[in-house]
Amino acid sequence: MVFLTNEGASSSSSTRRWKYDVFLSFRGEDTRAGFTTYLHKALEQQGINTFMDDKLPRGEEISTELLKTIEESMVLVIVFSKNYAESKWCLDELVKIVECREDDQMVLLRPIFYNVEPREVRNQLGNFGIALANHEKEFKDNMGKMQRWREALSKAASVSGSHYEEGCTTYKSEYDFIQGIVKEISSAIFNQRPLYDASYLVGVNSCVEAIKSLLDIESNEVRMLGIHGLPGVGKTTIANVVYSIIAHHFEGSCFLEKVREKSPNGSIIQLQEKLFSKILRDSYLKVDRESEGTNLIKERICCRKVLLVLDDVDNSEQIEKLLGKCNWFASGSRVIITTRDIQVLTTLPRNHLIYKVEELSPCEARALFNMHAFHTNEPKEDYSKLIEQIISYANGLPLALKVMGSDLCGKSIHKWRSALEIYWYWKAY
């Protein structure tokens, strides 16, 4: 399955905010009761925000509201079925879709040929030719509209897409075909989204690459990795970046933040429920007791290839309640645990992996502080001595550098000196 790429897209476009991940264009009479509804449900189950225009009233002309929805969608999926071209509404949608793709290279075009040959759509043959011939009788005084429809069909069908023919042996079933589409779209959306602001991540890339190597997502074995280090050294940030980069390779993924903070007073149940919500896409599943939640994890999640991150764990009991015996997960699953205390990781299987996050070097610390204090790595010269004192105080801890840099940003040198005296005072005590 090959889809259109986005070569030439500008980097500034990557910050664009989309209302919908996917817009589905389809002929309702052909596929609403089957294929398109199943595709819509499969996309939504993967957390892909999908617009399916099954509720808007149909009129002679496409509504302004629907045109705006197309403009606000990242991936434009066209389900070409046998009677697609019979609908003037669908053809108007298609014209808008092609225009959006031509106007914005960040928009992704995804044609699906469902029980039709791509050449039939591209060259307006068969049912497509008959439908357009009938439209020409109605629009003989508006051949410009006909030309736009024909060009849109030709352009959209010239994009390499996915083709399903009933009875074809390429796919085991329509279900497998849909899962393949969902996987491709999920990957495409992931590659489009700005996952983090790389300009403010100093000293992270080498850690991320080392962790990715340890996790080796191509391997089918279950791997568990503990990330440990001092408070404020960047464990959570690094785990977040790794999670963002590899999450789309798994059937389900969940990042449980601040486990240590949320565990007291029965809050572990809320973490278990979040796990079910993210992995199973079931926000209605409720847990009464922690032991019940642990058993449900074994029963409902063990058959899936998952990525789990338990962030800021401070005792082995939390791991047991959220991971059970640690041997319940399907082949290819990955578990990442961040902690200040390496002893917490002793509850993991003997072959678990360990990665220690080291403090930043003076050069890296200076770059990170400057980014937050000055939004550049070239600060004013008269601040240089104060900067060195602050870097010495922070001792290579990214969190301290970020907090102090943000706090001092835009302030006078006098206020910097006053703040520095306070920093040293608190460090002394």
Note the pLDDT tens digit of each residue in 73-87. Answer: 999 999 999 999 999
Residues 310 and 378 in one domain: no
DSSP string, 212-239: HHHH-TT--S-EEEEEE-STTSSHHHHH
Domain boundary among 192, 220, 251: 192
Whether 93 is catalytic is yes
Spatial separation of the C-alpha atoms in residues 360 and 310, rounded to whole Å = 24
What is the number of residues in the chain?
Answer: 429
- Domain CATH number, residue 284: 3.40.50.300
Q: Which two tokens stand for residue 108?
A: 């992704």
Q: Which of 244, 243, 220, 246 is nearest to 305 (CA)?
A: 220
pLDDT at 242: 93
User: Is 3 within the bounds of a domain?
Assistant: no
Q: Which two tokens stand for residue 40?
A: 């819509």
Residues 278 and 410 in one domain: no
**Per-chain mean pLDDT for the chain:** 85
pLDDT at 265: 62
- Report the domain count for the chain: 3
What's the predicted TM-score (pTM) here? Answer: 0.65
Domain that holds residue 80: 11-192
Question: With 80 as the cut, is the pLDDT of residue 9 above it?
Answer: no
pLDDT digits (tens, 9 = 90+) for 155-175: 999 998 899 988 675 677 888
User: Is 4 within the bounds of a domain?
Assistant: no
Q: Which two tokens stand for residue 299?
A: 């029963």
- φ, ψ of residue 116 to 5 degrees: the values are -140, 150
Residues 154 and 254 in one domain: no
Mean predicted confidence (pLDDT) in 349-374: 91
CB 260 within 8 A of CB 317: no
User: Is 1 within the bounds of a domain?
Assistant: no
- H or E element that contains 249: none
pLDDT digits (tens, 9 = 90+) for 12-69: 344 456 889 999 999 988 998 899 999 999 998 887 889 997 655 555 567 888 899 9
Report the chain's terminal Cα–Cα distance, integer Å: 63
Strand order across the beta sheet in which 252-256 lies: 252-256, 306-313, 334-339, 223-228, 353-356
Spatial separation of the C-alpha atoms in residues 76 and 223, rounded to whole Å = 36
Residues 291 and 351 in one domain: yes
Q: Which two tokens stand for residue 337?
A: 């645990």
Active-site annotation holder among 44, 71, 86, 93: 93
pLDDT digits (tens, 9 = 90+) for 298-331: 888 777 888 999 999 998 888 888 887 767 788 8
Domain boundary among 303, 323, 356: 356
User: Is 49 within the bounds of a domain?
Assistant: yes
Domain boundary among 159, 192, 225: 192
Residues 78 and 150 in one domain: yes
User: Is 47 within the bounds of a domain?
Assistant: yes
Q: Is 129 helix (H, G, I), strand (E, B) or coil?
A: helix
